[in-house]
Amino acid sequence: MTSPSQYPPPYQAADFVARPSKGADKQLSAGVLIVGAGPAGLACAIRLGQLLKESPEVAKPLGEFPIALLEKGKYPGAHLVSGAVINPIAFRQLFPGLKDSDFPFAGAVQKEAVYFLTAKGAVRLPTPPTMQNHGNYVASLSKVGAWLAKQAEGLGVTILSETAGYKLLVDDGKVVGAQTGDKGRDRNGQPLSNFEEGIEMLAQATVLAEGTQGHLTQTAIEHFNLKGANPQIYALGVKEIWEVPKSLDRVVHTMGWPLRPAKKYGEFGGSFAYPLGPNKISLGLVIGLDYHDATLSVHDLFQEMKRHPLFQKILEGGRRLDKGWGAKTIPEGGFYALPRQLHLPGCLLTGDAAGFVNVPALKGIHYAMTSGMLAAEAIVEALRSRRDLKAPHALQSYDQKIRRSFIWKDLRRVRNMRQAFQWGFWPGFFLAGLMTVTRGLFPGWRFKTRPDYEQPLFNGDKKYPKPDGKYTFDKLASAFASGNRSRDNQPNHIRVMTEVPETVGEAWIHMCPANVYEWHTEGGQKKIHVNATNCIHCGAISAKGGRLTPPEGGSGPEYTET
């Protein structure tokens, strides 16, 4: 069987590393530059703002813009997607003066249920210890991002939306900032009348908080050789927001159907349904991208899943909201896939970009926020000690803080659980049970994995029911529901080989939830054609054999409910 790794994309990390070279009119200096307005980046900005407010003398060396934050989306929250059930510990630590009711949560988890699904039935299971959510809250992550951004701006943080971090600026082995992407080029790269050249954002410290498949983070990991013991692996999640006649009274998780348990398919994942307040629910399906069947489509399986009696009962008489669809990858490699080092001279790695996700618990947001807060504290400690933030190991206390935190403890305890399912659902289920009982002591060694793009593929024969436009929807209608407003004639930001075997091409076509890839015949030869303006920046192609690079700032989805 073939794999996408045999057809690597035309991409080199070195192309996205540069020394500062622009004139002063194309440079902007900030004290601390944060890339990404997600939970990690915003929590970092807020904690920095709090600490600098407490100690104004520490802020003086940081200059006119002590904290600057780059966000490639139209606004903070525009590119954020999650289930989401949130552990509130990070919110409570970041905002000790606020109550849980002050946070942008839809409601507390009152009840929960876990089901094993067959094609027509559902068997209620005991809730696994890792999935118990008593004391947690359901929320829309895009709304959480918007709320956190307001708190950050209230502390003087400069947020530059519609601004993509394009190149990592490195000088003499030290990270000195990031170059932003150009705007206003045509699809051939030629400047248009509204052309704006990207600038060099110089900083004493750069915090990479880009989330899953972070472009500059991946560049830094490759350039500085930071890869962990295992490669990072990913899942793709697709979700919708529905208005329903009858409110859902509990958090629901499922396993089993529509996934196939046999090892030959390599399918791992499950679904969720969360109450988002009166008559509103969040519904989704997450599947690991280490599967083998090229005809597997997460989006289409999700649509098929909604026809199951369990979900039909929840959705009956309801409607999908106009901006009620989104998709995103999730890092699933866990403890053994963490970068071997989280600090560099002048740079820190945080959140999903670093891989802080607990797959068995379905949690990552509170880890992301906590890592951002710890990054802020490490930076301020170095400033108080009058250390050059770009000196080797000036920021190494960040690694130490992470290792002493609940992030490290939690991820280490489940360090082999996700990997156990590479041998099929039932063996994985059994092994995960042993790991739960022994608190991670079993098996006593590391289960090795390989990247998703190295997984062998075969052409299956999976067929999907035709969407009815009421309860089930095709990919184009769904991508439109993401609010995607990408400019049609901007340069293609997706790097893939166009001449690939049918199995690889079919895998990309089926995998993509937004119809980005399709076959075109040129000179009698089938080639992959890329509809880049459809892209919702989920990151799946980077996991499965291509490479996503930053599009023009402000492009992509405009999520408000996800």
Mean pLDDT of 327-347: 99
Per-residue pLDDT at 455 = 98
Q: How far apart are CA 308 and CA 258, in angstroms?
A: 9
In this prediction, residue 485 has a pLDDT band, given cuts at 50, 70 and 90, of confident
DSSP, collapsed to helix, strand or coil, labels residue 114 as: strand
Mean pLDDT of 229-237: 99
Sign of the CA dihedral running 35, 38, 40, 46: positive
Q: Which of 142, 69, 76, 144 is nearest to 105 (CA)?
A: 144
Mean pLDDT of 229-257: 98
- Is 92 exposed, middle or buried (CB count within 10 Å of its CB: 0-12, 13-18, 19+)? middle
The tally of CA atoms less than 13 A away on the side-chain side of residue 110 is 9
In this prediction, residue 524 has a pLDDT band, given cuts at 50, 70 and 90, of confident
Show Cβ contacts of residue 310 under 8 Å, excluding neighbours closer than 6 positions.
Answer: 115, 117, 122, 252, 254
Where in the chain are all domains bearing CATH 3.50.50.60?
27-82+144-183+195-228+338-415
Does pLDDT of 341 surpass 90? yes
Does pLDDT of 231 surpass 90? yes
Per-residue pLDDT at 400 = 99
What mean pLDDT, rounded, does the chain reach?
97
pLDDT tens figures, 79-129: 999 999 999 999 999 999 999 999 999 999 999 999 999 999 999 999 999
For residue 419, give the H/E element and its range.
Answer: helix 417-420
For residue 530, give the H/E element and its range.
Answer: strand 525-530
Per-residue pLDDT at 68 = 99
Q: Which of 270, 268, 239, 240 is nearest to 254 (CA)?
A: 270
Residue environment code for 132-169, b if the CB has 16+ CB neighbours within 10 A, otherwise e: ebeebbbbbbbbbbbbbbebbbebebbbbbbbbbbbbb
Does pLDDT of 133 surpass 90? yes
What is the arrangement of strands in the sheet containing 85-86, beginning at the earlier edge strand? Answer: 85-86, 137-138, 107-108
- The predicted model scores a pTM of 0.98
Q: Are 532 and 556 in contact (CB under 8 A)?
A: no
Q: How many CB atoms lie within 10 A of CB 198?
A: 20
pLDDT tens figures, 505-515: 999 999 999 99
Per-residue pLDDT at 522 = 86
Per-residue pLDDT at 399 = 99
Per-residue pLDDT at 519 = 98
* Highest CATH level, class, for 105-138+232-334+456-548: alpha beta
In which region does residue 51 sit, left (phi positive, over 0), alpha (psi from -120 to 50) or beta (all else)? alpha
Q: How far apart are CA 42 and CA 70, in angstroms?
A: 10
In this prediction, residue 325 has a pLDDT band, given cuts at 50, 70 and 90, of very high
Give the alpha-carbon dihedral of 261, 426, 253, 419, to 10 degrees: -90
pLDDT tens figures, 200-226: 999 999 999 999 999 999 999 999 999
Per-residue pLDDT at 1 = 86
Q: How far apart are CA 297 and CA 455, in angstroms?
A: 16
- Report the CATH number of the 27-82+144-183+195-228+338-415 domain: 3.50.50.60
Where in the chain are all domains bearing CATH 3.30.9.90?
105-138+232-334+456-548
pLDDT tens figures, 420-475: 999 999 999 999 999 999 999 999 999 999 999 999 999 999 999 999 999 999 99
Mean pLDDT of 135-143: 98
